[in-house]
Structure 1
Amino acid sequence: MEIIKNISSLETYEVRQPVLRAGKPIESCQFDGDDLPTTKHFGIYNDEKLVGVVSVFNKINNIFKGPNQFQIRGMAILSEYQKRGFGEKLLHHCEVFIKSQNGTLIWFNARESAVSFYEKSNYNKVGALFSIPEIGPHYLMKKEIDPL
């Protein structure tokens, strides 16, 4: 049985590190803004084991108009739990949370390999493929939402 809980930024590292920063030092798992009071971290547990994480930042991207923007970052599911619905549940949880905060736009930089996952949830690519140094090719993606 899975459950989604609020977690600390430090708790995200145990999933961020092997999935998003494999072979890099644990310090590379810390993101700017992780510990701001407006940042939320969510973990999805399967039988009490943390198998996925995501962080939600109240952050404006000047490419988009509008004040109530939120960035999703650090979305990661342990490899042995991928393609089992955990990512979709975690993404949906973020959307419900962002709506509750009167958010109107969700944006993020998606790894090229994850674009189809997000497109299934109606996120759209914006602009061309770009590279993040030491991490790889990404697309900016977004989804406009109606607040609650």
Structure 2
Amino acid sequence: MLLTHKKLSIKQIQASETWPLRHVVMYPTHPKEYVILENDKEGIHFGGYAEGILVTVVSLFIKEKNAQFRKLATLEEHQGKGYASQLLSFVFDFSKKKNTSKIWCNARENKANFYHNFGMTKTNKTYKESGINFVIMEVNY
């Protein structure tokens, strides 16, 4: 059951502002450097703030007509409140305004249903990293 809380305040942030949240949420047992992407400088990074606290982040990479979002992460104590959904909806809208025709991601297999709610479908491309199963999901619009 999704609990709806106050609307998120979303703003563009620096890649380095995403790293602490990515680390603690996604790969807390790895070194902090593990969550820094080689192409972070090429991305557009967004942060969602609830009551002034950065609670969710995502990075968007646009290449021609394709957009890829990566490293969507929400602090554990703020999960289930709809913040990641609000942030992802924002990213989809932002991507469409940049004239992309497809958005895709490397989804953790156990989170595929979340992305399915946004109209994304699984492809047949899968892989495993750090003991986690991933599937590439996408949606054309």
* TM-score for both structures, normalised by structure 1: 0.87
Displacement of 1:100 after TM fit?
1.0
Deviations 1:101-145 (A, max 9, x none): 10100011100111010011111000054212x151011100112
Letter paired with 2:107: A
The 1-side partners of 2:62 and 2:70 are apart by: 11
Aligned counterpart, 1:22: 28
1:103 aligned residue: 100
Q: Name the aligned partner's letter for residue 107 of structure 1.
A: W
Give how far 1:91 is off.
Answer: 0.6
Q: Which residue is equivalent to 1:137?
A: 133
Cα distance change of structure 1 residues 125 and 81 upon mapping to structure 2, 3 Å threshold: same
- What is the CA–CA distance in structure 2 between the aligned matches of 1:49 and 1:143, rounded to whole Å? 31
Structure 1 residue 13 displacement after superposition? 1.0
Q: For structure 1, which runs of at least 5 residues remain unmatched after alignment?
A: 60-66
Q: Distance in 2 between matches of 1:130 and 1:14?
A: 25
Tell me the matched-pair count.
135
* Deviation for aligned residue 1:17: 0.4
1:32 counterpart letter in structure 2? E
Indicate which of 40, 48, 51 corresponds to 1:34: 40
- Local SS of the residue matching 1:11: helix
Q: Take 2:60 and 2:97, find their aligned partners in 1: how far apart are those partners?
A: 13
Alignment of 1:57-136 (within 5 A): 57-59=61-63, 67-127=64-124, 129-132=126-129, 134-136=130-132
One-letter amino acid matched to 1:105 = K
| Aligned twin of 2:3 | none
Residues 31-63 of structure 1: CA distance to partner in whole angstroms, max 9, x if unpaired?
Answer: 121012xx200000010000000000114xxxx
Question: Percent identity between the aligned chains?
Answer: 32
- Tell me the secondary structure at the aligned position of residue 58 of structure 1: strand
- Which stretches of structure 1, 4 residues or more, deviate above 4 A after TM superposition? none
Match of 1:35, SS state, is helix
* Deviation, structure 1 residue 29: 1.4
